[in-house]
Structure 1
């Protein structure tokens, strides 16, 4: 008499083992990268200033934890008093208001 073959049970959750291994290795990678990193304050300050200038100027926050220093900067490197920015915003507001008024009255 022949022996019956036992049906093999297929595990549908096998992917969880691979997924958990991958997540563990990824976490270890970031922990090692964090442990190896050294933040150079001078380079970070220089990067912050150059990014601010590249993004159109504005306020830069610099300093250590105890005494932050907030300064205005412009793309040319000269500090501005902000009045020109306010006047530009007022002009823009007037233009938008007049545009909306024209569209509102047209209906």
Structure 2
């Protein structure tokens, strides 16, 4: 845990526990939100049941939707728990790595 705290730049075990709780809530919430969203835009599982894609298309789309929901919810839930700065920096670092350094290029490493 000491290495993780050093890597993330945090000092207290309490903050580490809060961060773990935020990650857990965010992961569960993003999976939970994707299904009603697909139903809202009229792309529920019944629409994918027939045809070539079947359930594969539905679950592929749902998994692709989970990622942006996760990004937004991480910032929102992190803010609710008073950890906006940590999660904003975490998001910038993650998106910068995924973009090959094209986004947030001025972010300190």
Q: Structure 1-normalised TM-score?
A: 0.25
- Name the structure, 1 or 2, with higher relative contact order (CA <8 Å, separation 6+): 2
Structure number with higher helix proportion: 2
